Amino acid sequence: MQPDKSGLRAHAMKFVDYAKIHLRSGSGGNGCASFRREKFIPYGGPDGGDGGGGGGIIFQGVKGKTTLLDFQFRQHFHASNGTRGVGKDKHGKSGEPLVLQVPLGTVVQDAETGEVLHEVVDEQPRLCLAGGAGGRGNTRFKTSTNRAPEMAEVGQPGIEKWIVLELKLMADVGLVGFPNAGKSTLISRISKARPKIADYPFTTLTPNLGMVQTEGFESFVVADIPGIIQGAHEGVGLGLRFLRHIERTALLLLLVDVSDTIEHDPMEEYRILLRELEAFQATLLDKPRAVALTKVDALSDAGRLEDLAAQLQGKGEQVYPISSVTGSGIPELVNYLGAQVLKQRAELASQDEHASASTPHKTPPHGRPAGSGISSERNR
């Protein structure tokens, strides 16, 4: 029995942050060309109904969902088609839309062009692929000069696309550091998250999320990103796979190990982390950030800690020496992170209000071009 290894495999299997799927919205039903045939009504006229519209593809974010596992073993997702119209002015039934539930933070991209079709950032259902419009029946084409039209429209086909789903976890604070820098220990100390903790590198194989409560009863989400090493942006270690989860965080917390047992100089680790973030995406360095000097309980030379803090502060960094074992410096760090998160939320809310006030409301156009997809189909 090896419970650790089997448990690790089971845990790793649950987290899926990439999937490629095929979507097809429903096709519209054909319109009907028919005429009234009732006793004593020789000139009943056209009574063909419209075809029903095809079902669309809708994406909906779900809180608490943190994996794309549902799309790992199934690739094809198709909405239902609309049914055709019939006589007596009876319209066809519209196809049912297909609602795909995904984690918040999922990016929907066209697999061929790379175009971002949709970003799921809230729980509001949003249409991604529209269904085909139903064809019009011959009743729609009746005019004063054409009282018996024999034409009806063919329903429009649905849209087919190969789609890439990419999950970028939505968290307020991203913990970034070398393997064994103390990220998992810190998140277990400040939240109820219980990630795997061990004394060997790359203990964390999947990002972990933890909810942190501040003294002011405000809460924010912290993401423990698997360890980053030199060359991570090129695929070395696990960094390339998980660096994208840092993109949506409002604040970065760099963790640098300062214990007596470290293999690298702390300042060198700090520089490597910044280089890897910049090489992956330069805008990551524009995010607000702080530096936590971890494992100070395992440091014998207090003077070295002061010198390191002074160097980092000289570079404009907010520095917090902490120990997740003793709890030293943890309350001050949590309060700072909470204050920064609230500041970021207020700025985003202000930007959204300004954008809403300055964007004029536009009424979308309705209908479809007359005469498109016309067939001579007639229901006898």
What pLDDT does residue 375 have? 47
Please check whether residues 191 and 274 belong to one and the same domain: yes
Please check whether residues 66 and 111 belong to one and the same domain: yes
Please check whether residues 21 and 143 belong to one and the same domain: yes
pLDDT digits (tens, 9 = 90+) for 244-293: 667 778 888 998 988 887 777 889 889 888 888 888 788 888 888 899 99
- Identify the CATH number of the domain in which residue 67 sits: 2.70.210.12
HSE on the CB side for 30, CA within 13 Å? 14
Please check whether residues 196 and 163 belong to one and the same domain: no
Strands (E), 18-125: 18-24, 57-62, 76-78, 98-103, 106-110, 116-120
| Total number of domains constituting the chain | 2
Q: Are 152 and 375 in contact (CB under 8 A)?
A: yes
Please check whether residues 40 and 131 belong to one and the same domain: yes
pLDDT digits (tens, 9 = 90+) for 108-158: 988 888 888 888 888 889 998 899 999 999 899 988 888 888 889 999 999
What pLDDT does residue 217 have? 55
Cα–Cα distance for residue pair 2/204, rounded to 1 Å: 18
Domain final residue pick, 142, 167, 192: 167
Please check whether residues 131 and 161 belong to one and the same domain: yes
Cα–Cα distance for residue pair 160/155, rounded to 1 Å: 16
Q: Is residue 369 part of a domain?
A: no
What pLDDT does residue 244 have? 65
Q: Are 28 and 133 in contact (CB under 8 A)?
A: yes
Q: Is residue 336 part of a domain?
A: yes
Residue 115: DSSP 8-state: -
271: containing domain: 173-354
Domain final residue pick, 167, 200, 225: 167
Q: Is residue 371 part of a domain?
A: no
Provide φ and ψ at 357, rounded to 5°. Answer: -70, -30
Q: Is residue 367 part of a domain?
A: no
- Identify the CATH number of the domain in which residue 332 sits: 3.40.50.300
Residue ranges of the chain with per-residue pLDDT less than 50:
1-13, 195-205, 229, 231-240, 362-380
Please check whether residues 147 and 251 belong to one and the same domain: no
Please check whether residues 264 and 133 belong to one and the same domain: no
Q: Is residue 359 part of a domain?
A: no
What pLDDT does residue 278 have? 83
Please check whether residues 178 and 254 belong to one and the same domain: yes
Q: Is residue 52 part of a domain?
A: yes
Please check whether residues 221 and 121 belong to one and the same domain: no
Residues whose CB falls within 8 Å of the CB of residue 226, separated by 6 or more in sequence, listed in order: 179, 202, 204, 205, 206, 207, 238, 239, 241, 242
Please check whether residues 151 and 177 belong to one and the same domain: no
What pLDDT does residue 51 have? 93
Q: What is the reported pTM?
A: 0.59
Q: Is residue 1 part of a domain?
A: no
Cα–Cα distance for residue pair 134/51, rounded to 1 Å: 4
Q: Is residue 324 part of a domain?
A: yes
Domain final residue pick, 107, 135, 167: 167
Please check whether residues 110 and 224 belong to one and the same domain: no
